Structure 1
Amino acid sequence: MSIIDSLVKTNNTKIIMLVLDGLGGLPNDFNGKTELEQAVTPHLDNIAKEGVLGQVIPVQTGVTPGSGPAHLALFGYDPLNVDIGRGILEAYGVGMQVREKDVAIRGNFCTVDKNGIVTDRRAGRITDEMAKPLVKLLAEIKIDGLSIDIRHVNQYRFAMVLRGDGLSANLDDTDPQEIGVRTFDPKPNSESAKHTADLIKKWIVEARQVLGGYENANMVTLRGYSHNPGLKSFGERYQLSAGCVAVYPMYRGIARLVGMETIEFDGVSPVDQFSTGKRVINSNDYDFLFVHVKQTDSYGEDGNYDKKVNAIEEVDKAISTLMQANPDVLVVTGDHSTPSRMQAHSWHPVPFLLWAPETVRQDQANQFGETECLSGGLGTMHAKDIMSMILAHSGRLKKYGA
Structure 2
Amino acid sequence: MDITEVWEDLAWNQGGKIVYLILDGVGGLPDPQRGGTELQVAETCNLDQLAKESSCGLLEIVGPGITPGSGPGHLALFGYDPLKYRIGRGVLSALGIDFDLQAGDVAARANFATLDQSGRVSDRRAGRIATDFNRELTQKIRDRVSLDFDGTFFFETVSEHRAVLVLRGQGLSGRLHDSDPQQTGVPPAEPRAKDDASQLTAKLVRSFLDQAKAVLADESPANMVLLRGFERYEPLPSLQQRFKLKGLCIADYPMYRGVSRLIGMDLVDPPGGIEARFKALQTQYAKDYDFFFVHVKKSDSLGEDADFDSKVSLIETVDRLLPLITTLAPDVLVVTADHSTPATMGKHSWHPVPLMIYSPHGRLDEVAQFDEYTCRQGMLGIRPGTHLMGLALANAGRLQKFGA
Question: What is the TM-score with the length of structure 2 in the denominator?
Answer: 0.96
Structure 2 distance, partners of 1:222, 1:265, is 25
Give the drift of 1:353.
0.5
Instruction: Please name the residue that 1:303 is paired with.
Output: 306
Contact in 2 for aligned 1:25/1:36 (Cα 8 Å): yes
Distance in 1 separating the partners of 2:256 and 2:133 = 23
- The superposition leaves residues 73-111 of structure 1 with CA deviations (integer Å, 9 ceiling, x where unpaired) of 000011111221111011111111322211011111111
Counterpart amino acid of residue 384 in structure 2: H
Contact 1:62 1:348 in 2 (8 A): yes
> Does residue 52 in structure 1 map to residue 55 in structure 2?
yes
Q: What is residue 93 of structure 1 aligned with on the other side? A: 96
Q: What SS does the aligned partner of 1:124 have?
A: coil
Q: Kindly indicate whether residue 400 of structure 2 is the aligned counterpart of residue 398 of structure 1.
A: yes
- Matching of residues 242-321 of structure 1 within 5 Å: 242-269=247-274, 271-282=275-286, 284-321=287-324
Amino acid corresponding to residue 283 of structure 2 in structure 1: R
Q: AA paired with 2:348? A: H
CA contact (8 A) 1:74 1:387 kept: yes
8 A contact 2:109–2:228 mirrored in 1: yes
Q: 1:241 aligns with which of 224, 239, 246?
A: 246
Aligned position for 2:389? 387
The 2-side partners of 1:17 and 1:105 are apart by 28
* Secondary structure of residue in 2 paired with 1:80: coil
Q: 1:174–1:221: 8 Å Cα contact kept in structure 2?
A: yes
Q: Could you tell me which of 131, 136, 144 is aligned with 2:148?
A: 144
Cα displacement (A) at 1:211? 1.0
2: CA distance, partners of 1:39 / 1:372 = 14
Distance in structure 1 (CA, Å) of the matches to 2:121 and 2:308: 28
- Are the counterparts in 2 of residues 278 and 324 from structure 1 also a CA contact under 8 Å? no
Residue deviations 1:112-165, cap 9 Å, x none? 234422222111211112111101111222212131122100111101211112
Cα distance in 1 for partners of 2:7, 2:290 equals: 18
How many angstroms apart in 2 are the aligned matches of 1:144 and 1:323? 56
Q: State the alpha-carbon separation in 1 of the partners of residues 357 and 10 from structure 2.
A: 21
Provide the residue aligned with 1:9 in structure 2. Answer: 12
Counterpart contact for 2:21–2:336, Cα < 8 Å: yes
Alignment correspondent of 2:226:
221
Cross-structure match for 2:187 = 182
Q: Which amino acid aligns with 1:257?
A: L
Q: Secondary structure at the match of 1:159?
A: strand
The reply on whether 1:167 has 2:172 as its aligned counterpart is yes
Give the secondary-structure state (helix, strand or coil) at the position aligned to 1:220: strand
CA offset at residue 278 of structure 1? Answer: 1.3
What is the 5 A alignment of 1:338-353?
338-353=341-356
Shift of the alpha carbon at 1:252?
0.6
**Unaligned stretches of 5+ in structure 1?**
none
d(CA) in 2 for partners of 1:298, 1:277:
23
CA contact (8 A) 1:265 1:276 kept: no
Shift of 1:31: 4.1
Is structure 2 residue 98 aligned with structure 1 residue 69?
no
Q: Secondary structure at the match of 1:125?
A: coil
Q: How far, CA to CA, are the matches of 2:316 and 2:107 in structure 1? A: 36
Name the CA distance, whole Å, in 2 between partners of 1:356 and 1:90: 33
Give distance in 2, aligned partners of 1:322 and 1:396.
Answer: 21
Is the 8 Å Cα contact of residues 15 and 396 (structure 2) preserved in structure 1?
no
The aligned counterpart of 1:368 is 370
Counterpart of 2:386 in 1: which secondary structure?
helix
Q: Which residue of 1 aligns with 2:127?
A: 124
Aligned counterparts of 1:114 and 1:312: Cα–Cα separation in 2: 40
Amino acid at match of 2:358: W
1:30 to 30, 33, 48: 33
SS of the residue aligned with 1:235?
Answer: helix
Secondary structure at the counterpart of residue 326 of structure 1: coil
Query: Alignment RMSD, CA only?
Result: 1.3
C-alpha deviations, 1:237-291, integer Å up to 9, x for none?
Answer: 111110001111111111111111111144312x111110111012x23120001
Rounded Cα–Cα distance in structure 1 between residues aligned with 2:22 and 2:376: 19
Tell me which amino acid in the other structure corresponds to 1:228. Y
The amino acid of 2:243's aligned partner reads: Y
Deviations 1:20-74 (A, max 9, x none): 0011111120243211111111111111111111100000011111111111000
201-210 vs 255-264, which moves further: 201-210
Larger deviation, residues 209-218 vs 64-73: 209-218
Distance in 1 between residues matched to 2:152 and 2:21, nearest whole Å: 38
| Whole-Å separation in 2 of the counterparts to 1:387 and 1:157 | 30
Scaled by the length of structure 1, the TM-score of the pair is 0.96
**CA distance 1:56–1:266, change in 2 (3 Å):** closer
How many residues are paired up? 399
Query: What is the match of residue 155 of structure 1?
Result: 160
Please tell me the residue identity of whatever aligns with 1:182. Answer: P
- Asked if the contact 1:265/1:272 (under 8 Å) is kept, the reply is no
Identity of aligned residues (%): 44
